[in-house]
Structure 1
Amino acid sequence: MDLYQIIYFILWIGISLDTSLGLPQLIRIGGLFGYGEDPSIESAFRYAIYKINHDRNLLPDTKIAYDIQHLPTFNSFKAAKKACKQVNLGVASIFGPQSENLAGHINSICNFLEIPHVETRLDTRADVATSYSFNLYPDSSVLSRAYLDIIKYFKWRKIFIIYGDQTSLLLLQDILKAPVNNDVTITVRQASKLNMREVLKEAQKKKFSHIIADLNIDDTHLLMKAALQIGMIDSNYHFVLTNLDIETLDLDDYKYNFVNLTGLRLVTRDDPDSRIILDEMAEYQRRHGVALLNKTDLIKTEAALMYDAVNTFAHALEGADKSAKMRLVNLSCEENEAWSDGSTLYNYLNLVNKPKINEVSNEYRGLTGPLEVSQGVRTDFNLDILQLTSNGIEKVGYWNPQEGINFTVSYDAVETRFGNRTLIITSIKPVINRTLVVTTLLERPYVMEKKPGDKKFVGNDRYEGFCVDLLAEIAKIVKFTYKIELVPDDTYGAPNDKGEWNGMVRQLIDKKADLAVASLTINYIREQVIDFTKPFMNLGISILFKVPKREKPGLFSFLNPLAIDIWLYVVAAYFVVSFLMFILARFSPYEWYNPHPCNPDTDIVLNNFSLGNTFWFAVGTLMQQGSDINPRAVSTRIIGGMWWFFTLIIISSYTANLAAFLTVERMVSPIENAEDLSKQTKISYGTISGGSTMTFFRESEIPTYQRMWSFMSSKKPTVFASSTEEGIRRVKQGNYAFLMESTMLDYTIQRNCDLMPVGGLLDSKGYGIGTPTGSLWRDPISLAILSLQENGKIAMLYNKWWRNTGTCSRDEKSKDSTKAHSLGVANVGGVFVVLVAGLSMAILVSCVEFLYNAKRNATKEKTHSCAGSSHFHKQSLCTELAAELRFAVRCHGSSKRPALKRQCSRCVSHTAEPPNPINGVRSAREVQRRHSHLHVPPHSPHDSENGNGYYNYPEYIDGGNHMQYKETKT
C-alpha cells in the first residue's frame, strides 16, 4: 500500500467516524419568555429539560443546555436583540414567547436563519406553511369547528357571544358564518373588566339564555362572578367557555345552582401516562418550590404544551441522531448565513409520532394527547368535553376532527325533558328504562292504598296520593320504570343509640331500594348517610289549635265603637264646654237682653244661659236634637259652633263604626303564636313522640323553644302523641295545641272545620327524595323536580290532594264572615237597658220633686186674716199630697194650673190660701204682706178678670228681681 492509499484510508476512517456521531454531546436551545407571562410556562420549560437530561433512554449521549431571556412585552427591538444573542450561542431551536406581537418578530428571525421556532400559543396568522414555526397549540380553524359542532348538537338558534379582543373572534369564525345557512340569530359584544356586568345585563334583558364567552382565564372568572351577582347562574342559562383552562377555575360558588356550563380541555388528565407525569411534577414542585401546578395540582394548557414541546424536540433529536448528521454553528443576525441543518431538524419535528421513520420509532404521547403536526400546524388532537356538575368539573365526552362530538352520557333524554333548555347531566351515565325499587310508607295524603272495589288493583296501581303522582311525573321525564314497596317497619328512619338506622333510610343504606319517596325531611343527620334531591316541597313546624267559639257582642257593645278614654274625653269636654258657656254668657253684655221689648226704659234684663240651661244646650247638641236656647254673643257662638263641629265628628265616627261592632262576632283565641304558648301553662301542647319535630325542640337553642321543650318534657301525663291522628283527636277535645308540620296541618284543617293554624312557621325545611350515597339518579331527578316546579305541575298536585279533596272551604267561611247579619237583642239590648234606666230615673226624680214640694208647703206656716183677726196655721202633709195628687191626675180642664185653696178650722169656707209657688214665683198679695213697702190696689188695672174666671196678678220671679204677670183663679 503506497503512501496515498494510506492517507486516503485515514481520511475515510475519519470521515466515517465523524458521520457516525450523529449529535453533539451538548445541544443548546433558547427560551424566550415575556414579562408578565404565567411563570408556570417557564417552569415547565426548565422541568422538561431536567427530565430529559435525567432520562437514560432518551438521548443518552447528549445533554440539552438552555439559555433563558426575558423580553419586554411591548419592545420588539429589545426582544430581537435578545433573540440574536441566543443565535450567536448556536442554539438548535428557540422556544417562545407567548406574546402575539413579539412572536411575530422572533419567527421572522428564525425563518431567515432557518432555525426551528417552537411555539405553544394560539396563532392567528393566516399562513404559516412556509415558515420555520412549529406550533403545538391546536389550529384555530379546527378549534372553531369544535365549538360549531357543540352549538349544532345543542340546536341553539339564538346566541349571545362575548369576546375580549379582536383575535378572540378567530375561534368563533365558523359560528359567525352559521347564520347565513342555518338561520341562527347571533349578538356579539366586546367585554372588559369595566363593562362585564353591563354586557351580561343586556343578554339578560334581551332574553338570551345561550352565551358563548371567548375570554382569557382572568376575564372568564370575572364573567362568572358577575353572572352570579345578577342572577344568571341557574338552570335557565347555558354558558360555553372557549378558554381551555376552565378546569383551573374555582367553581364551587356555581356548581350547586344547576347552571349549564360547558367547556373543552386539551390536557388529558384521565390518561394514565399523563397522571404519572402530573404526579412527578407535583413532587418536583414540592421539593424545589417552583410554580408548575396550581393549588389543586392542575396544570394550565400553555404550560402543558411547553412541556410537550420540549419533549417533542427531544424525540426529534432522537430521530435525527440515528438517521442523520447534525452540526451546530454560531450564527449572526447581521449576516446572511443560515443554519444548514435547520431544515433537517424542522422536518424531524414534523415527523414525531409518524409511523416507521427509517424503521425508528420515536412516538411520544404527552400531556396534551397524541402529537401529530404537519408543516408546523397541529391539526389532529383530542379535546375533552367538560361540564359543571354538583361534584365539580367532569368529563362528559370528547371531540376530535375525525369523529366530531362523542358524549359519554345520554343527552337525548335530557333534551326531550327540557325542550329548548338543555340542562345537562354530566356526573352520570344513566341507564334508560331501568326498573327502580322505590321504598315508601302509608301517610295521607302522600301515599294511600286505594279502596278495594269491583276492580282489583295490582302493582303500583294499588297506591294513590301526592307522592305517587309526583313519582309518575318524574319517571316520565327521566325515563325509568319503578316498583313501589312499603318499608317493613313503617318508619322514616332514625339512628338508635348504637348509630344503626331503621326505616326507609336503612333501606337506602343497604341498597335494598333505589329511591325513598315520601314526606321525608331533609336534615343534617340523614344527609350524612344518604343523598337527597332538591326539595319538592318546603314546609315548617306550625301550631294546630281548636277554633275558639265566636264571642257574642256584649250588652253594652254599642259603646265599643269608641274607646273608653274617648268616652271620658267626651264627658270631660261636655262639662268644660257647659261651664265655659255659662261663664262667658255672664261676662258678655250681649247675652243680657230686655224681656219686655215694648218697655225700652225698663231696668230689668234677662240671661237665658243659666247653669242648668248651658248643660241642657250642650247635651241637646251632643244628641243632635238641639235646644230652644241659642247664643247671642259672638264669643258664645264661637263656643257653640266649635261644640257643634266636635259633636258632628264624634257622632259621625261613632255611627260609622257602630254597624261593624254590632254585626261582627269576633273569635278571640287565647294564643296567637309560639311565644304566647310558652308563657302559659293552662293550655297543654306537644308533638309526635320521637319525630323530627320533637328533635327540633329538644336540640333548639332559642329561649322560647327551650321553654316549650322544658314544659313538654316535664308535663305529666305526657303531652306527646303517638301518632298524628292522636294529636288531632286531643286538639278536638280542647285545651291542647299540637305542634306538627305545616303541610300535614294544612291537610288536616281542610277536613276539620273546627281546627285552625295559629301563628307562622317555627322553622324552615323541605321534603326531598332520598337516594343512596353517590347514586347516579340524584342529579337527573333533581332537574326533573326543578322542571316540575317551574311549569306548575307540583302546585297542581298539591291543590289536587290538599284543596280539592277537602270538605271545609276556608274561603267560603271567610266570605260568609264578611256578610252583614240581622241584629238581635244581644246586639242592641244595652240600648233598651239605658232607656229603661233613664225612664226609671226620671220617675224617681219626679217623685222626689213631688214629695219635696208637698212637704215644704205643708210644713210652712201661713198668716192670713179671717173674721177680723190674723192667725197662723199649717197644712198637713197628707192633705197637701192629696190636693197635689188630685190636680196631677185630673184628665180634663185647663192646662194652666191655678193656686190651690187651703183651709183651716178658723177660716170660713170661702177663703183660700194659694200654695207656695214653685221655682220662686210668688203672688203679688203675698209679696205685699211680707213687704209692706209694696202696694198693690185691690182692684188695680192688672187685677182684671180675663173672662175665664181668672185674674192677672203681678208676680215676681227669681226672688223678686224680675216681674211677670200670672193668671190666678179666684
Structure 2
Amino acid sequence: MANLNHLLLFILFLLLSLLGKQSMADDVVVRAGIVLDLNSTKGEMAKSYILMAVSDFYAVNSNYRTRLSLFIRDSKGDVIGAACAALDLMKNENVHAIIGPQRSTEAKFVAKLGEKAHVPILSFSATSPFLSPNHNPFFIQTTQDDSAQVKALATLIQAYGWREVITINEGTDYGNDLILCLIDAFQEVDVRLPYRSVISPSPKDSDILEELNKLKAMQTRIFLVHMCASLASKFFVLVKNSGMMSEGYAWIMTQGLSSSLDTIDSKVLDSMQGVLGIRPYIQISKGLEDFERRWKTNLTSGKTNYKTFGLNLFGLQAYDSIWALAMAVEKAKIENSSFSKQNASESKVDLAAIGVSEIGLRLLNTIASTRFQGLSGDFYLVKGQLKASTFEIFNVIGQTKRIIGYWNTKKGLSKEVDDICTIAHSKSKDNLKQPVWPGDTTNQPKKLRIGVPARDGFNEFIKVKWCPRTNKPNISGFSIDVFLAVLDMLPFPLPHEFVPYVTKNGQSAGTYDELLYQIKLKKLDAVVGDTTIVANRSLYVDFTLPYSESGVSMVVLMKDNEKKNIWIFLKPLSWELWLAIGAASIFTGLVTWVLEHHVNTKFRGPPDQQIGTIFLFSFATLTSSYREKVVNNLSRFVLIIWAFMVLILTQSYTASLASMLTVQQLKPEFVDVKEIKRNDYFVGYHNDSFVRELLIKQLNIDESKLKPYRTPEEYDEALSNGTHNGGVAAIFDEIPYIKLFLSKYGSRYAMVGPIYKTDGFGFAFPRGSPLVSYISRAVLNVTEDTDKMTGIMRKYFETQTTCVDGSAEISTDSPSLGVYSFGGLFIIAVVASMFSLLIHVVRFLHFHWPTSNIVPPEGSFWLKLIELVKHFDQKDQCSYPFRKNESSLYPKISPDGFGASASIDDKQKHSRTSSEGADNVATDDDDEIL
C-alpha cells in the first residue's frame, strides 16, 4: 500500500513537470541587453540589482506570458566600448531593449544606435540634461537628470546668504553639462560664479594640489563639487591635506556624487566631515525594507562581490528599470519578438548590418506610459524622463549622512518631508536643521570679512576699541550702525565679521585707498566706514549708493570786524532807493502845497517861505513831525497813502540795519581759495583721505603748503594759530567732517567757499559683486526712513547743529534794498497824488474859468492862463477857514450897502490887509475844505 502511494505521487509530480515545461515552452521570450562597466564598483553593484530585479519580478508575476532574457556586456568604461557592446547586442543578439550604459558620454552614442535600430535605451545613471528624449526619441532616462537639482542647489545657497560660489567639476560632458544649467539657476537668485575649476578625469595628485592652492588664495570659500565618486575619493583626501576642510569653508556635493557615497571608502568619508549633499529622497516602504534585508543577506552569503552594505540610488533605479521593462513587455502583448535584418554581415560592428526591431516602437510607447511604485519611489515618466521628486539635504558626520532638511518645488525648504507648517517656496535656513560645518563647528562658514578703518579722530563715524581681556576689537560708530540697519533690510542673512585695518601694534595700516585695495587683493570681502565714493577708487571696487551728504568744502577762522563802516546807516537801502524816496518826498510836498496853497494860510507867504515850507513839509512827513496842518480832504488822502508808504520803508530800513549791525560783527579771514593761493598760505586737510589729491590736482595748491591733521582738536589748534604761527589759513575736508567739527567749535569757525562735488560715503565691495545691488536698495530704504536715520544721528551727533553754506551766512556784502522791492508802493503813492491833484484842478477850473472881465474875451489863451494863475495865488475867500477868519476882522455890511460895488482900490486894500493879517489868523481848528 505504501509503495502504491509513492508511485501515485511520482506520477503526479511527473505530470506537473510536463505541464510546467509545456507552459514555459508557450512563454514569449523578449531579449534585452545590459551594458555596464563591470570593472567599476557602480557597474558591479548595478549588475547585482538587475539580476535580483528579474528574479523578484517573475517570482511575483509568475503568471505572465512574457519573459525577459538578459544579455550582459562590458563597456570597459569608455564610449567606444559601450558602442561596440550595444552594437553587438543589437546585431548578434537581436535585443529589443538595452539597460544602460552608465555614463552620459556613453549614452549619447548608444542612444543614436537605438534610434537607428528602433531599440529603446533605458539609462538609470546617465544624468546629463542634454540627453533629451526630444533629440533622442528612443532614449529613456529612468533617473532624474541633473537639471532637476539646480533649483534645489540654488535655494540652498540662497538660504545661507552666500552670494558667490566656486564650482569644481570633472572635465567631462557629465561635469560640464550641469555647470551650464547652474549658471542660469544661480543668475535667477543673484549668486555669482567668480571662478570655475575643472579637474581632469584622471589627474595627478600634483595637478589637484596646484588647483587647490589656487582656490585657497581666492576670496570665496564656498565650493560646489560635481564629479564622479572615483575622482571625488582622491580629491577630498587632498582637500583635507591642504587644510581646506577646516572652519571657514563650505563644501556642497551634487546629486550624482551624493548618491554614490555608499561606494566610497570610509577613509575618504573621514576627509569629508561637514560636507553638505543633496540627493533624491527615497521613501521607506515595506518592499524596500524587505529588499534591503535580502540584499544584505546576499552580501554576507557571498553571492555577490559587492562589499558595501548600504542601498544605492542608482542600483534601486536599475532595479526599477528592469521592472518597468518587464511590465511593458507584458502590457504590449508581444506574440513574436522578431528583428528584421536589412543587410547581412558577419562583422559584429557593422553599422549597416543593424536590423530593426519590429516591436521596438510599441515597446517604447508602452514603457513611456508605465507607472508603478518602485523601490526608488514613484516610477513616472514625463516626456521620456523620470519626474522630479523631493530632494533630501544631508550633512556628512562620521560615517553617516545626517538629514538636515528637504526641498521640493512646492514647499521649498523644510525640516521634515511632510512638514505642513512650512510656507510655500521657503528659502530660509531656519527651515533646515543646524549642520556641522568643516572644522567641527556650527558657525556658518564664509562670513564676509569686512575691513574697517582704524584711526584717531572723528570717532563718531568709526571707533575701534580693543578689549584688554580678549584682545578682540569692539567696533562702533555712525557708519557701523547704518550698515547694520542696512543688513536688517536685506531679504537674506549676511554673516560677517569686522576686521580693523591695523598693524600688529594696533596702529592704522595705511590710507583709505590702501584699505580699499585690499578688496582687489582678495584679502577683504568689503569695506565699511567713512569711505568716500570717488572715481579712481571705482577702478578696483564697486560702491553702493551713498548714505551721507556729499562734497568737500573749506573751513576758516572767524574774526571780529574791527573796521566799522561809518556810512553803514546808508547801506540798508540802495542809492537808487534813497533817490527815489527823496524824489517821492518832494513830489508829495509839492502836491500838498498845490492842494493847500489857496485855502491854508500855513502854505502862503513870500515865495522863499513857500519853497521852504514845501521842502520842510516833504521831509518832515518821513518822521511824522510836521507842524503844518492840512485842511483839504484831498491833501489828507495823499498824506495817508504817503504815511503808509513811509511806515513800510522805515520798518524795512530798521530791520536791514539791525541785521547788518549784528551779523557783521564776525567775518571770515578768507572766503576764497584764490586769496590763499595768492598769498602762499598753508592749507590743512584730513590725513589719509583723498582730499590731498583734490587739493593738488584740482585746486593746484603747492604740495609743500599742505599739512595733514587727524582730529577736530588738531583742526582747532591749527586754525587758531594761523598760517604765520605754525598753523594753517584754512582746512579742506568733507562736509560730514566739517559739520561735526563746527558742532564743537562752530562759534569760532565757518564753512565758506564753493562745495567741490563728491558722492558721499558708501560701502565698498568687489567689482561685479551681486551684493552691491541688494545693499544699495537697502541703503535707499534706510536713508529714506527719517525716524531711523534721525535716531542714528542723534546717537553720535547729538550736539550737532545745522550748518549751511558759510558764504551765505557770514557775507560782509549783504544786499541793499532796492527800488524794485518797493515799486508797488511808489506806484500807489504817485497814482493817489495824481488823482487828488486832478480832482483839485478840475474843481478849480470849474469855479474860475473863464477868467474875470479884466481880460477881454477875445484875449489870448496865455493871458487867460496868467490871469488863472493869479487867481490860484490869491486866497479863496469862499473857503470856510477864510470866511471864518474874516468875519472876525470886518463889520457886518448894512442892508443899505448890500449889493454896492467896491472900488478896485478898496478891493486891493482889503486884499493887502487880509494878506498882511494872515499870520494873525488862528488855523488850529478842524475846518475842512474840499
Bigger RCO of structures 1 and 2 (CA < 8 A, at least 6 apart) = 2
TM-score range, shorter chain: 0.3 to 0.5
TM-score normalised to structure 2 length: 0.39
